[in-house]
Amino acid sequence: MTGPEIRELHTVEDLDTVALLYADIWGTEPDNSPLSAEVMRALSHAGNYVAGAYEDGRLVGASVAFYGDPIGISLHSHITGASQGRGLGLALKLHQRQWALARGLKRITWTYDPLIRRNAYFNLVKLGARPEEYLTSFYGAMEDAINGGDESDRVLTAWDLTAPPEPSVPETFELPADAVHGVRNYDGRPEIGTTDADTVLIDLPDDVEALRQQDAGAARAWRLAVRHTLGPLLAEGARVVGFHGRRSYVVHRTPTPAA
């Protein structure tokens, strides 16, 4: 079975189709797409990355990225959307990787909602990318069907293109005996623990997108719990080194040298 056809897009007609696809994925009105055709046209014309994935001639995924800082080193992937469960997201990211390497770039960055388990698994395990910075309410409140009015906390994540493209993070870690839970999933709600250890686990909810519709209070509790544990850990220089059991960030803190 062959994969999708992926190609760069430039025409207004193609970009109009991308805007409609994004509106459908994010659950917005067609005239209020997360990214307009006009902006994509400008980015494409300026030499940035705008690409679509096609199956049987039909657009099923798209990705938009632009050059970032440091200049000549980094590409920032702003938005990628595709039909789920068919490997389209991975195909788009690998195409984007080759595009960046052909232009001498060494890393790709992007942001994602740290509460969404499938995205955390995809980014850390499938790609081997690493969260670097916690960004509180990065876009403000977002009213689309995916975000449901929640604050748009994001983690800035970096993908090292100088490393092999194979997954570099195991799905299950051999956790040290003294690992602690900074956040534990207790009967669907977050239970705050301690972060006073070299290895800290931060659980995620089963499906925060559904939870926003069913129990906004619980979704808000998860937002704050992860914000107030993962955020300070990243700010102090701790590293997310894995995603354990498809549920938990594994965060490694650098021990403080003895006086």
Residue 165, pLDDT score = 66
What pLDDT, in 10s, does the model give residues 18-51?
A: 999 999 999 889 999 999 999 999 999 999 999 9
Residue 258, pLDDT score = 47
Residue 174, pLDDT score = 80
Domains annotated for the chain, with CATH where assigned, are 5-160 (3.40.630.30), 180-252 (no CATH)
Sign of the torsion angle spanned by Cα atoms 101, 104, 105, 106: positive
Nearest CA to 238 among 184, 185, 182, 200? 200
Nearest CA to 159 among 168, 151, 150? 168
The pair of three-digit structure tokens given for residue 34, joined into one six-digit string: 């997360």
Percent of the residues in the chain that have a pLDDT greater than 90, as a whole number = 81
Residue 259, pLDDT score = 44
Which residues in the chain show pLDDT less than 50? 257-259
Residue 3, pLDDT score = 83
Length of the chain equals 259
